């Protein structure tokens, strides 16, 4: 069977994980990469044995050998490169968030609807083994209907600097960058209900804490702490059309005791904590019990998650599977995120439909 030929646009940190996963997929050949930093593109092409490195992604999209692309650029070009790729006949796996704004996401969605191409969003945590196990329990009805969920991603010293801290390029701060993962997990596990209203706050009280010397932080490829125009933290409550609600918080900078990730969903028949460890609470014979599914791949879950995500993208592109994270899911999440910023700016609850 001929290989699915891949090109990757943007060859920074996350591209390493995409390319690592493509390299181990037996159905894939990595043929080209592209980055506005042409030296970086060439180095990554050499690392992964890609035949061609382009300084301009338009050249990659014009390459007739490329069947599908990963878009791993800054947030400000997620939608535009995805649109250009679909119009060039390529399938697309676009990193999260799907775009910088809800308007850009809708523009991409319109193009998706007019073309017969797979556009998948990089909600990689859906593909982690713990989420896959919990989804199986939920789909089997073990939790009943989920009416409440909590999504929290707290970094106390976690502003990555560079473009991540530039609102013009990133579109937003921790809410859009790391909150998006846990919000999406809850929304996915809740069964993708329609969000109807949000009420949120954002704060910029501590800045990027570039002064902190005793704790390590993730730094973007082109680290620069001198600019910071994003929020330190955000919180919100989201209402859904089925009566369910979701409580959110996310931070880059906060006087918290520790970094933490919490994802919990609660239904009529059971509840579950996905993070920090998968545990399910329910009743048996008038007795409350906690179930602890044993997850084999926990220590290696990032590599496994990316391999699963890329396998799903390749299978969907080859018509062998449904995409677990189609474009419209990214669009719905952008609607919620933008609504939270709007609510924070206006000091009012925002109606979304
Ligand atoms: N799924 C995850 O868990 C996860 C984790 C980290 C980052 N991300 C996402 O991945 C994306 C990239 O993040 P990163 O950490 O790799 O950033 P990065 O800065 O390390 O890499 C981005 C690369 O894109 C290049 N680039 C920017 N604009 C471009 C353009 N118009 N055309 C071609 N190349 C361009 C940059 O030169 C850089 O090499 C972001 O959208 C981020 O939200 C996802």
Question: What integer pLDDT is reported at residue 191 of this predicted model?
Answer: 98
**pLDDT computed for residue 218 by the predictor:** 86
* pLDDT at site 224: 87
Residue ranges of the chain whose pLDDT lies below 70: none
Parse the chain into domains and list their residue ranges: 4-123+305-325, 126-298+333-351
CATH 3.40.50.720 fits domain 4-123+305-325: yes
Q: Give all strands of the β-sheet with 270-275 in edge-to-edge order.
A: 287-291, 279-284, 270-275, 260-267, 146-154, 245-251, 233-240, 195-203, 350-351
Q: Which atom of ligand 1 is nearest to the CA of 221?
A: 20
- Residue 64: the pLDDT is 98
Ligand 1 centre from 284 Cα, in Å?
Answer: 47
- What are the structure tokens assigned to 51, written together? 């035949």
Long-range contacts of 341-348 (CB under 8 A, 24+ apart): 341/172, 341/175, 341/200, 341/202, 341/234, 343/198, 343/199, 343/200, 343/201, 343/236, 344/200, 344/201, 344/202, 344/231, 344/234, 348/199
- Distance, CA 198 to ligand 1 centroid (Å)? 28
pLDDT value, residue 137: 98
CB of 123 closer than 6 A to ligand 1?
no
Check if 60 has its Cβ closer than 6 Å to any atom of ligand 1: no
For residue 183, what pLDDT is reported?
A: 98
pLDDT score of 298: 74
Q: Distance of alpha carbon 198 from its chain centroid, rounded?
A: 20
74 CA from centroid of ligand 1 (Å) = 4
Residue 1's pLDDT is 81
Domain 126-298+333-351 indexed as CATH 3.30.360.10: yes
The predicted structure's pLDDT at residue 348: 98
Among 7, 9, 11, 12, residue to substitute to test ligand 1 (most atoms within 8 Å of Cβ): 12
Give the number of the atom of ligand 1 that is nearest the alpha carbon of residue 124.
1
């Amino acid at each position: 069977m001929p290989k699915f030929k891949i090109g990757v646009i943007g060859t920074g940190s996350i591209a390493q994980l995409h390319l690592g996963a493509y390299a181990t997929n037996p159905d894939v050949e990595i043929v080209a990469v592209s980055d506005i930093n042409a030296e970086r593109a060439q180095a990554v092409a050499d690392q992964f044995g890609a035949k061609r490195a382009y300084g301009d992604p338009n050249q990659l999209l014009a390459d007739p050998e490329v069947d599908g692309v990963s878009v791993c650029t800054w947030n400000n070009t997620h939608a535009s490169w995805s649109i250009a790729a679909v119009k060039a006949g390529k399938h697309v796996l676009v990193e999260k968030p799907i775009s910088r704004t809800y308007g850009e996401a809708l523009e991409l969605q319109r193009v998706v609807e007019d073309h017969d191409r797979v556009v998948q969003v990089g909600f990689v945590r859906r593909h982690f083994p713990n989420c896959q196990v919990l989804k199986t329990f939920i789909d089997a009805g073990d939790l009943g209907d989920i009416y409440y969920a909590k999504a929290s991603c707290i970094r106390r010293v976690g502003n990555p600097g560079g473009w991540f801290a530039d609102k013009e390029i990133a579109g937003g701060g921790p809410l859009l960058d790391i909150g998006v993962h846990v919000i999406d997990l809850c929304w996915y596990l809740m069964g993708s209900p329609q969000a109807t209203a949000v009420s949120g706050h954002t704060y910029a009280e501590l800045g990027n804490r570039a002064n902190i010397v005793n704790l390590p932080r993730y730094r973007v490829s082109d680290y620069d702490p001198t600019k910071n125009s994003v929020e330190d933290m955000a919180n919100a409550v989201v209402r859904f059309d089925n009566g369910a609600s979701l409580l959110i918080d996310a931070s880059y900078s906060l006087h918290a005791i520790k970094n933490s990730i919490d994802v919990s969903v609660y239904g009529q028949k059971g509840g579950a904590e996905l993070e920090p460890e998968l545990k399910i609470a329910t009743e048996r014979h008038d007795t409350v019990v906690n179930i602890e599914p044993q997850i084999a791949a926990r220590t290696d879950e990032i590599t496994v998650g990316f391999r699963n995500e890329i396998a799903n993208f390749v299978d969907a592109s080859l018509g062998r599977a449904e995409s677990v994270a189609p474009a419209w899911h990214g669009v719905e999440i952008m609607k919620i995120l933008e609504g939270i910023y709007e609510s924070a700016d206006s000091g009012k609850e925002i109606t979304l439909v």
